[in-house]
Structure 1
Amino acid sequence: MNKSLVPNGLTSMNLVFGMCSIISTFGGDLFWGAVCILLALVADGLDGRSARALNVSSEIGKEMDSLCDLVSFGAAPAMLAYKLQLADFGIFGCVAAVFFALCGMWRLARFNVNTTVVHGYFMGLAIPAGGCLIATSTLLINAVGYDLSQLSYLYPILVMIVAYLMVSTVHYPDFKGDGERMNAVAKLVAAAVFATILWFGSEGIGYAVLFGIFAAYAVFGIINHGINLLTGDK
């Protein structure tokens, strides 16, 4: 058997789950629309590991990975957010959804170009993390029955902030090597964000944990990078 079939099959499953997410979202099933994005994350995490374990990493595999990521963590979350509430804001909601997908594309393109330049951290929020922020927040919102209309225009603005973080120069830890210094203050703020989400989302605690992880990570990068810029630490 061709060993490359294993990682390429997992990469393909990433796209399959992304398409299932979009189809579920179009059908009004936001639960499975969100869950399929998380399943795509699992497939995305396994393909690279299996390729390295089997020593079959290839350029075509890398290209497939980026193309699948754009669907699963760019287009699918944008459609999920649009169906959840962005559609209520007309043109502004459309802009927010398209902006998220566009930023995902820019993030992937920049990552591919900078693979030999950027080491020890992610420049900008990784697109799987951005997509999963949308997915896990959707699961939590539906679980606790929160009325998003109370946020008014804050929801589309938050979606666009997540999108911008993906193309920003904020440094996020990749947990693979020695990156920037990880400051105690940033860790405390991230922990506080995580605890706050658990408190307010206690009725859907499992979804709150998932959303809390991605939200705390997003906030940690902003605070940690800001501190390092101010102190000059790398």
Structure 2
Amino acid sequence: MKSIIPNALTALNLVLGVFAIISTLQQQFVYAAFFIVCAMIADGFDGRAARFFKVSSEFGKELDSLCDLVSFGVAPAILAYVFSLHELGYAGYGVAALFATCGALRLARFNVNTGIVKGYFMGLPIPAGGCVIATFILVGYKPEAWLFAVMVAIVGYLMVSTIRYPDFKGKGEKIRAIPAICTAVFAAFLLFTIKDATAWIFIPFIAYVLLGILNTLFSLFDTCTA
């Protein structure tokens, strides 16, 4: 019976992802973005609930991955396409499909590496990747379709890259001072630049993306100069 709670949270993640897709098809982009963010919150609690009740299982892990693919891979891809990528014709199809495919590969690699890679995430976690795309919609700025396509493709690449993203569990990947300061300055700049307080939710996601990139680059530099 205890397994019902974490599985219900996982199912809620899926439901919210479906709601995001439906909202997108109705041109309600803001609602779609918030549904994806709420799905991330549900996703964050299902694993904690499973560990709290000591009911972690392979079934739960597989269910979680399937739901994540819908909420953070497929839903953001459809949102990106309807929001802007459709202007590129078949190329827009490709970019949206690329993002969803990268999300699937990211989840597959995570499942295979569970218990092997500890202390950090190998590649941008798919919830963060999906939320970067979703919350960008809230900023209120619509770039040229090709530029938005580049952004979507880059986020997709980051999910399957070997860039190390901190898991903030107090061990593993060290967060270096300079990357942290640069990220904080960038976040502060966005905070003062973005006028709509609702759109501020975009800031922590894009800051996390930047932190992982800078931290990995400085780590490689330290290794080369050691």
Return the TM-score normalized by structure 2: 0.96
Residue in 1 that maps onto 2:202: 211
Q: Give the Cα–Cα distance (whole angstroms) in 1 for the partners of residues 78 and 142 of structure 2.
A: 19
Show the 5 A alignment for 1:20-59.
20-59=19-58
Runs of 5+ consecutive residues of structure 1 not aligned to the other structure: none
Q: Does 1:225 align with 2:224?
A: no
User: Residue 118 of structure 2 aligns to a residue in which SS?
Assistant: coil
Residue in 2 that maps onto 1:9: 8
Q: Which amino acid aligns with 2:212?
A: G
Q: Which amino acid aligns with 1:75?
A: V
Q: Does 1:138 align with 2:137?
A: yes
- RMSD across aligned C-alpha pairs, in angstroms? 1.2
Q: Does 1:196 align with 2:189?
A: yes
The structure 2 residue matched to 1:148, chosen from 143, 147, 169, is: 143
Q: Does 1:183 align with 2:182?
A: no
Shift in Å at residue 177 of structure 1? 4.0
Shift in Å at residue 180 of structure 1? 2.1
User: Residue 67 of structure 1 aligns to a residue in which SS?
Assistant: helix
Shift in Å at residue 9 of structure 1? 0.5
Deviations along 1:122-165, one digit per CA (max 9) or x if unpaired, are: 00000000000011111122xxxx3423xx52110011000000
Q: Give the Cα–Cα distance (whole angstroms) in 2 for the partners of residues 134 and 154 of structure 1.
A: 13
Q: Give the Cα–Cα distance (whole angstroms) in 1 for the partners of residues 6 and 191 of structure 2.
A: 35
Return the TM-score normalized by structure 1: 0.93
Shift in Å at residue 22 of structure 1? 0.5
Q: Give the Cα–Cα distance (whole angstroms) in 1 for the partners of residues 203 and 132 of structure 2.
A: 9
Shift in Å at residue 42 of structure 1? 1.1
Aligned length: 224
Q: Which amino acid aligns with 2:128?
A: A
Residue in 2 that maps onto 1:114: 113
Contact 2:9 2:42 in 1 (8 A): yes
Q: Give the Cα–Cα distance (whole angstroms) in 1 for the partners of residues 14 and 91 of structure 2.
A: 28
User: Residue 3 of structure 1 aligns to a residue in which SS?
Assistant: coil
Distance 1:18 1:108, change over 3 A: same
